[in-house]
């Protein structure tokens, strides 16, 4: 067992907590483990993943297959500057970023904008990151896993390759001692993103390998910011409810890309 102690390295160390609500629900992003964040289209998956990466402040590698550089830069500017998406988009379009240059330069995130990365692309990017910076990223985000070429199996059918992809990402998390966070879709009944999503709602039923599976849905508010509701449906290092009916609540102002703990 002392061998396990030596082999552990930094694995098992949680990345910095960003939201009190997630910490209280024991939703922690642990180094050396694979996590999934799943939800319907437009529910706020990317907003949450990008906010976590920005606010954790740890070295990160973000594969943005689902969104291009223009969109992600505008989102980042909105988050770090506190601007509306309309204002941030206008500044990015005019390349007028002097007022937020210091904040952007201090963000320790390397973005990869391949639309359909393969496992060889992911591995090469990780190796290049380690070569340049002298360490692997502490957080690796795949947005989203169905854009990875190997998510289509040998028979050519969609999602048939997701299970072996999960195994590969699990090994990558162990090998780099990063938390690897994959964003993922859900099945048809939950695509409206307006109700709790159980573990069984994952597209392709890929909940076997990840140590953490969190599903998110959104509650529209008549007044004030919407609610982003995060359910821990599988959690090897904390509590979980596979039904998705237990969730942490966050405020989500989509017009400003602003996610925060509830203010009372």
> What mean pLDDT value characterizes the chain?
92
Strands (E) across 138-225 are located at 139-143, 179-184, 212-219
Average pLDDT over residues 70-77: 97
Q: Looking at residue 245, what DSSP letter applies? A: -
The pLDDT value recorded for residue 34 is 98
Give dist(CA 104, CA 59) in Å, integer: 14
Residue 4 lies in a domain: no
Length of the chain: 264
For residue range 57-66, what is the model confidence (pLDDT) as tens digits? 999 999 999 9
For residue range 85-98, what is the model confidence (pLDDT) as tens digits? 999 999 999 999 99
Q: Which strand (E) or helix (H) includes residue 50?
A: helix 45-56
Given a cut of 60, is residue 259 above it in pLDDT?
Answer: yes
Give dist(CA 126, CA 137) in Å, integer: 8
Q: Report the CATH number that the domain containing residue 201 is assigned in CATH.
A: 3.40.50.300
Q: Can you spell out the DSSP letters for 83-127? A: --HHHHHHHHHTT--GGGHHHHHT--EEEE--SS--HHHHHHHHH
For residue range 27-58, what is the model confidence (pLDDT) as tens digits? 999 999 999 999 999 899 999 999 999 999 99
SS3 58: coil
Q: Which two tokens stand for residue 48?
A: 């949450």
Percent of the chain with pLDDT strictly greater than 70: 92
Given a cut of 60, is residue 5 above it in pLDDT?
Answer: no
Q: Say if residues 216 and 44 touch (Cβ distance below 8 Å).
A: yes
Short-list 178, 230, 156, CA closest to 63:
178
Q: Which two tokens stand for residue 112?
A: 């990869």
Residue 1 lies in a domain: no
To which residue do tokens 């990008």 refer? 50
Residue 198 lies in a domain: yes
The pLDDT value recorded for residue 222 is 85
Tell me the pLDDT band of 3, cut-offs 50, 70 and 90: very low
For residue range 150-207, what is the model confidence (pLDDT) as tens digits? 776 666 666 668 999 999 999 999 999 999 999 999 999 999 989 999 999 999 999 9
SS3 220: coil
The winner for highest mean pLDDT among 70-74, 155-159, 222-226 is 70-74
Give dist(CA 109, CA 137) in Å, integer: 9
Domain that holds residue 132: 19-261
Residue 10 lies in a domain: no
Total domains in the fold of the chain = 1
Give dist(CA 47, CA 112) in Å, integer: 17
Residue 12 lies in a domain: no
Q: What angle do CA 194, 200, 203 make, to 5 degrees?
A: 80
Residue 120 lies in a domain: yes
Given a cut of 70, is residue 215 above it in pLDDT?
Answer: yes
Within 10 angstroms of residue 243's Cβ, the number of other Cβ atoms is 13
Residue 9 lies in a domain: no
Q: What is the largest CA-CA distance in the chain?
A: 58
Give dist(CA 254, CA 52) in Å, integer: 15
Residue 207 lies in a domain: yes
Give dist(CA 106, CA 80) in Å, integer: 11
For residue range 116-141, what is the model confidence (pLDDT) as tens digits? 999 999 999 999 999 999 999 999 99
**Cα 216–chain centre separation:** 11
């Amino acid at each position: 067992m002392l061998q396990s102690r030596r082999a552990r390295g930094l694995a098992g160390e949680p990345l910095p907590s960003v939201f009190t609500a997630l910490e209280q629900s024991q939703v922690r992003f642990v180094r050396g483990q694979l996590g999934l964040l799943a939800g319907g289209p437009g529910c706020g998956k990317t907003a949450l993943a990008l906010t976590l990466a920005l606010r954790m402040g740890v070295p990160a590698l973000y594969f943005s297959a689902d969104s291009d550089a223009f969109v992600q830069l505008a989102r980042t500017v909105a988050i770090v500057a506190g601007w509306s998406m309309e204002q941030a988009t206008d500044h990015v379009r005019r390349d007028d970023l002097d007022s937020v240059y210091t904040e952007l330069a201090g963000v320790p995130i390397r973005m990869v904008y391949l639309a359909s990365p393969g496992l060889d692309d992911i591995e090469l990017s990780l190796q290049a990151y380690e070569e340049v910076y002298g360490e692997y990223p502490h957080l690796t985000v795949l947005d989203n896993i169905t854009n990875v070429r190997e998510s289509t199996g040998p028979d050519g059918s969609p999602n048939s390759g997701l299970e072996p992809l999960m195994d590969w990402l699990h090994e990558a998390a162990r090998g780099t001692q990063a938390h690897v966070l994959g964003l993922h879709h859900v099945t048809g009944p939950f695509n409206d993103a307006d109700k709790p999503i159980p573990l069984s709602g994952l597209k392709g039923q890929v909940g076997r390998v990840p140590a953490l599976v969190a599903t998110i849905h959104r509650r529209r508010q008549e007044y004030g910011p919407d609610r982003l509701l995060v359910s821990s449906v599988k959690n090897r290092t904390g509590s979980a409810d596979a039904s998705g009916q237990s969730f942490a609540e966050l405020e989500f102002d989509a017009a400003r890309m602003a996610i925060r703990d509830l203010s009372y």
